Structure 1
Amino acid sequence: MTVSPTVDFIVVNGPIYTSDPLCEWAEAMAVGNGRVTAVGETAAIRAMAGPDAAVVDLQGRLAMPGLVDVHAHLGLGGRQAAYELPLLPTDSTGEIFAKIRQWAENLAPDEWVIGGIVGSTVMDDITLEDLRQLDEAAGGRPVLLRDDSMHNRWVNTRALELMGVTASTPDPEGGTYSRDDDGALTGVLQELASPVGEEAAAASTQESGERHATAFRTAVQILNSFGVTAVQEAATMGYALETLADLDRRGELTAHVVASMPSRPFIEPGITGPELYDIGELHRTEHVHPDFSKYVLDGVPMTRTSAMLSPYLCSHGSHDPDHTAEPLWELGELTASLEALVDRGLHAKLHATGDAAVRLVLDAVEQVRASRGEAPIFQIAHVEYIAPADVPRFTGLDVVPDASPYIWFPSVIQESIAKQIPAETFDKSWPLKDLFLDGALVSGGSDWPCSAPSPDPWTGLETMITRRNPDPEVPGDLNGGQALDIRQAVAAFTRHPAAAMGLQDTVGMLRTGLSADFIVLDRNIFEEDPSTIHATQVLQTYFEGRVVHDAAAEHAPV
């Protein structure tokens, strides 16, 4: 055991799961200067620390590494939690209208109602009557609601007016202003029509540095409360880079954050591509790592915009029986862009939800590997549909599957997807076991605030194991043969995403020399019935050896 002379405190009297394949379990751990100083047997740790060392007594509780979320949208999630109308994906239109009425009572007459998340099952069937009721509920105020994919928006008539959009307005490239069969606008904005609504809303909002800081601070505090101490921000704009760097310089950032800067316009308006990459490098700090670019290869299956190898189901008279959706990039174009990115020293996170888009990414990576070597990291989000022949290519090309079990359960997204994707494809979704056993670095991400109203990792971890809804009243599983075991699922939320983010020498395990990021739980998840893991509570979260979440203190009476 390698021993450092600096010990600030030791952790004893409870099982410690290290997530280190070389030594999975330990009796005790020493921490000094924000790093793990030693891991081993209690007697040895006590002896090296000396009799005066401070002690963290686990009282029999399980300790394990801080969790790592490979895919979250901190600005969107933090802003939603701090400032916006909270909606549940299970809310009906009636419940949404009621919440808007109540929320609007505290707004100025022309103030925007901004909120989310609206479930895909609601977005599937928006009518002109729904639009009328949305107008009425808001009392003349403009409304912008985000859906559970974050690719689409629902706005009302006043918002469309402020956007300058009428029934005769052409669709933006890569997006759609949805219309009914008679050509009337329904208020649904799909894909790259969404930033038009976001830009109109942002123009009327008094954004400020402190407002941004509050949003990101709130997001990180929420992550810490669930035991997350490292995260990959999945679509990082310029204001986000500046805000995160400022928080870190002030000592207020309590997580390692890897930024993914959009290569092209995506969810939010703003500078993208090489100009944004330059801004990213200016805001590199100890805990802010602007190391990735975000590429979007297709849309989402709910709106039939995922690029698929087989046609979508026909469920409406207007549907083309041969429709598969086209990727947003061509192979040569994508390969050249990735090579230029790699030449800048950056890595890539690529959104590809359809099996045709996944294949396109793998084909491009194959060419980039041949020309640029093995060093660059490539992640594919969200690996929902992969052609069987392409599964082994993830390992062969060293491509990371960025998996989002939050999209499975308890989200309503799968219910919506089943209306669009043929059963023979739908039933083979999320082949995580095959990927894991093949040696791919399966990594868990929340995609928060998409899919679910919180980035709770314990629901995602459980459903990787059970492939079932945590609610026992909801029957069935999702491709149950692809279930992981508990150790595999924990790896997907600790050391795997750490390596996928390029932070394997900093986080993801409790190993000598790594950051002392660890959590204390109210239960031993390795001994619990997996169907109860979603109820796990994080008692304490340590970031670099200091407590950044303490459930007892936060719930103590004032």
Structure 2
Amino acid sequence: MGATPNLVVVGRRIFTSDPDNPWVEAFAVSNGKIVAAGSRADALAAAGPDAPVLDCEERLVLPGLVDVHAHLGLGGRQLAFELPILPSDSKPEILAKVRAWSAGLGEGEWVVGGIIGSTVMEHITREDLHDLDGAAGGRPVLLRDDTMHNRWVNTAALALMGVTADSPDPDGGAYVRDEAGHLTGVLYEMASGLAEAAANSSIKDPQKHNDQAFQKALETLNSFGITGVQEAATMGYALETLSRLDGRGLLSAHVVASMPSRPFIEPGTTGDELYDFAAGMGSDHLHPTFSKYVLDGVPMTRTAAMIHPYTCSHPGHDEGFTGETLWQVDELVESLERLVDRGLHAKLHATGDAAIRLALDAVQRLRESRGPEAIIQIAHALYIDPSDVQRFAELGVVPDCSPYLWFPSVMTESNAHQVDAGVHGSSAPFRDLFEDGALVSAGSDWPCAAPTPDPWTGLATLVTRRNPDPAVEGALNAAQALTMEQAVEAFTRNPAEAMGLKDVTGMLKAGLAADFIVVDRDIFTVDPSTVHETKVLRTYFEGRCVYDNGMALNPQVPAAL
């Protein structure tokens, strides 16, 4: 067997996510990798008489979970430094939180926070801007919405951005104005990047700030059982930070980076210049192998590209308006071909069904010219025309699905105000995608929609298609519910393969990293409506315990090895 295993994990319920060997009694670990998975006798024989044994007894053991879509810098900063706002908070509640937070800040500090629910963002007025100014007491304010595409800032922030009532909208964005032409402080799409740049300029020690933010993000991921993640819009500072942390032995997850092809929600270098920079940043656990493309916006602000017209009734609404894509198919194909020639893969943001069709059309041409090797993901697989569903499997395109975004919530409520009722009611067709053979992979898009990357909420909603909160009634396209086994696959081996790490993680299988978790309930047998309450007892990354909630599993094995 080579090196002597340094740990044996045994238990009555060990699910491997390996389709050829889904349930085992035990597995053995050596040098951070699994060297045997099968019967208790086989694992103990492989380990030798002196190897420590972690006996999980009746506790369920699973592979470490994999999140195919998260924003670690934004999420980590939000938890470490920023004003927490719930998407369900009303305007008065948001203003009260801003007022209280402002009182504790030092000179020159911004009020930065989120997330504001889309149902609040779509109703912000000039009067609300004045109220925000008063709550902040003269400080600049930047608040992010639940899509992370848009911001709400106050007058002081607009001044620092150099934005006045006469400022033209930036390309790909807007300074939202009311019917009288007055600024409301709401920023759409690319206008948000200008606000982020202004706020970032006030940070006194950016490197320390980034180190702390990313460490907080990693600790949070580990606490939920996540040991692999795709960073969904990775700027240069993020690559430097992640590489630095890995060099210090602090990167406790496999991280795949997705560098923006064009300017996006954070300021900084993008495209070829960023790809060149990233080529020297890879390490044992950091893989800068993807580019992020943004093909449209989001339905809440009518910036998603739809096949059917929007149904909203805001002033001046064009009844034939469908939104528009940010790329034309020819330029997208050309860009993807150049990307693939570099040896990189692509994550395409496309929330509207017209944008998804554009993406699939481009991939079809890419497959004809460059073959099937490049991995192409489409996030967030929300609105897909029925005629396009089967194309995901046919073209080998990964549906990057975000159950955190679509389960009945304030974001879904806002979408329902804008999108054709039939299209909205048939959203997120994950069962059809699964049964067609597409590599359905779950991603949180944290910190969008939810304050944490809690995968257990996502697992529950994939199976129930309902909000875990019983106060929120209704199901969303209930016929598309997955089985629990499918949902776990979408959080383990599928996203690992979708990130190019199928030979690294995602299953409890000989030769792969010893990434595994022990949880407090058997999600395969409990009522699915309770799965969102699941707690992780321990998380192991490459055989090392990186999270322990303090509940002893076996007194003869230390919490950290």
| TM-score range relative to shorter protein | over 0.9
Query: How is 1:499-510 mapped onto 2 (pairs within 5 angstroms)?
Result: 499-510=497-508
* Equivalent residue, structure 1, for 2:528: 530
Secondary structure class of the residue paired with 2:258: strand
2:329 corresponds to which residue? Answer: 331
Question: Partner amino acid for 2:535?
Answer: Q
Q: Which amino acid aligns with 1:37?
A: V
CA contact (8 A) 1:4 1:38 kept: no
Contact 2:353 2:385 in 1 (8 A): yes
Tell me by how many angstroms 1:54 deviates: 0.5
Alignment of structure 1 residues 161-240 onto 2, 5 Å:
161-240=159-238
2:367 corresponds to which residue?
A: 369
Q: Distance in 2 between matches of 1:351 and 1:181?
A: 31
Q: Does 1:42 align with 2:40?
A: yes
Q: CA deviation at 1:206?
A: 1.7
* 2:141–2:157 Cα contact (<8 Å) kept: yes
Q: Which amino acid aligns with 2:221?
A: L
Deviation at 1:268, TM superposition (A): 0.3
Deviations 1:475-510 (A, max 9, x none): 110000000000000000000000000000000000
- Post-superposition offset of 1:52: 1.7
Give per-residue Cα distances to partners, 1:298-326, cap 9 Å, x unaligned: 00000000000010003123101110011
**Cα distance 1:425–1:173, how it changes in 2: closer, same or farther (>3 A)?**
same
Question: What corresponds to 1:295 in structure 2?
Answer: 293
Q: Secondary structure of the residue that 2:469 maps to in structure 1?
A: coil
Q: Distance in 2 between the 1:187 and 1:316 partners?
A: 18
Counterpart-to-counterpart distance in 1, 2:205 and 2:348 = 29
Match of 2:555 in 1: none
- Which of 42, 52, 55 is the matching residue for 1:54? 52
For residues 287 and 224 of structure 2, the distance between their equivalents in structure 1, rounded to whole angstroms, comes to: 22
What are the Cα deviations for residues 166-189 of structure 1, in whole angstroms up to 9, with x where unaligned?
111110011010000000000000
Is 1:350 aligned with 2:342?
no
Following the alignment from structure 1 to structure 2, what is the Cα–Cα distance between the partners of residues 91 and 13?
A: 43
Which amino acid is 1:9 matched to?
A: L
> Which residue identity lines up with residue 251 of structure 1 in the other structure?
G
What CA distance in whole angstroms lies between the structure 1 residues aligned with 2:480 and 2:46?
45
- Paired residues of 1:237 and 1:272 also in contact (CA < 8 A): yes
**In structure 2, how many angstroms separate the alpha carbons of the residues matched to 1:184 and 1:13?**
64
Q: Residue deviations 1:336-381, cap 9 Å, x none?
A: 0000000000000000000000000000001110010111000000
In the alignment, which residue of structure 2 is the partner of 1:360? 358
The answer on whether the counterparts of 1:411 and 1:452 sit within 8 Å (CA) in structure 2 is no
Q: Is the CA contact 2:17–2:492 (under 8 Å) kept in the aligned structure 1?
A: yes
Q: What's the offset of the Cα at 1:454?
A: 0.3
Return the alpha-carbon distance in structure 2 between the equivalents of residues 384 and 48 of structure 1.
46
User: In 2, are the aligned partners of 1:6 and 1:37 still within 8 Å (CA)?
Assistant: no
Is residue 2:319 matched to residue 1:314? no
Give the Cα–Cα distance (whole angstroms) in 2 for the partners of residues 371 and 52 of structure 1.
56
The CA deviation at 1:408 is 2.1
Aligned length: 553
Give SS of 1:282's match: coil
Give the Cα–Cα distance (whole angstroms) in 2 for the partners of residues 111 and 120 of structure 1.
26
Higher mean displacement: 406-415 or 245-254 = 406-415
Q: Which residue does 2:128 correspond to in 1?
A: 130
2:16: which partner in 1? Answer: 18
Whole-angstrom distance in 1 between the partners of 2:243 and 2:315: 51
Question: Are 2:408 and 2:475, in contact at CA under 8 Å, matched by a contact in 1?
Answer: no
Secondary structure class of the residue paired with 2:283: coil
Which of 265, 280, 283 is equivalent to 1:282?
Answer: 280
One of 259, 262, 267 as aligned partner of 1:261: 259
Does residue 518 in structure 1 map to residue 516 in structure 2?
A: yes
Amino acid at match of 1:225: S
Name the SS for the 1:26 alignment partner: strand
For residues 130-160 of structure 1, give each alpha carbon's deviation from its aligned partner in whole angstroms, at most 9, with x where no partner exists.
Answer: 1111000000100000000000000001111
Counterpart amino acid of residue 117 in structure 1: I
- TM-score, reference length from structure 2: 0.97
Any residues of structure 2 matched to 1:76-115 within 5 Å, and which?
A: 76-115=74-113
| Match status 1:73 vs 2:71 | yes
CA contact (8 A) 1:109 1:140 kept: no
Q: Which of 423, 426, 432 lines up with 1:425 in the alignment?
A: 423
Structure 1 unaligned segments of length 5 or more: list them: none
Displacement, 1:431?
0.4
Deviation for aligned residue 1:9: 1.2
Percent identity at matched positions?
A: 64
| Deviations, residues 239-282 of structure 1 (Å, cap 9, x unaligned) | 00000001001101000000000000001000000000011111
Partners of 1:299 and 1:20 in 2: how far apart?
Answer: 37
Please name the residue that 2:404 is paired with. 406
2:455 counterpart of 1:457: yes
Structure 1 residue 412, shift from structure 2 partner: 1.3
Give the conservation status (yes or no) of the 8 Å contact 2:231–2:256.
yes
* Stretch of structure 1 that moved more, 98-107 or 20-29: 98-107
The offset of 1:196, in angstroms, is 1.0
Indicate if the aligned counterparts of 1:314 and 1:320 stay in contact, CA closer than 8 A: no
Residue type at the aligned position of 2:387: A
RMSD of the TM alignment (CA)? 1.2
Q: Distance in 2 between matches of 1:339 and 1:382?
A: 22
Give yes or no for contact 2:444–2:455 (8 Å, CA) kept in 1: yes
Following superposition, the deviation at residue 221 of structure 1 comes to: 0.5
**Cα separation, 2, equivalents of 1:466 and 1:159:** 42
Match of 2:151 in 1: 153
Residue 466 of structure 1 and its aligned partner are, at CA, apart by 0.2
Partner residue of 1:33? Answer: 31
CA distance in 1, matches of 2:438, 2:361: 17
Deviations 1:223-242 (A, max 9, x none): 00000000000000000000
Q: TM-score, normalised by structure 1?
A: 0.98
Amino acid at match of 2:124: I
Give the distance between the partners of 1:184 and 1:353, measured in 2 at CA. Answer: 30
Letter in 2 for 1:64: L
Which runs of 5 or more residues in structure 2 are unaligned? 553-558
Secondary structure in structure 2 of the residue aligned to 1:20: coil
Q: Is the 8 A contact 1:260 1:292 kept in 2?
A: yes
SS at match of 2:417: coil
Distance 1:185 1:553 in 2: 53
1:109 and 1:260 mapped to 2: Cα distance? 35
Distance of 1:431 and 1:409 partners within structure 2: 12
* Cα displacement (A) at 1:553: 6.9
> The residue matched to 1:14 in structure 2 has which SS?
strand
The AA in structure 2 aligned to 1:233 is E
For 1:147 and 1:323, the matched residues in 2 are separated by 23
State the match for 2:116 in structure 1.
118
> After superposition, what is the alpha-carbon deviation per residue over 1:106-127, rounded to whole angstroms, capped at 9, x for unaligned?
1135321000111101101001
Does the residue aligned with 2:239 lie in a helix, a strand or coil?
helix
SS in 2 for 1:418: helix
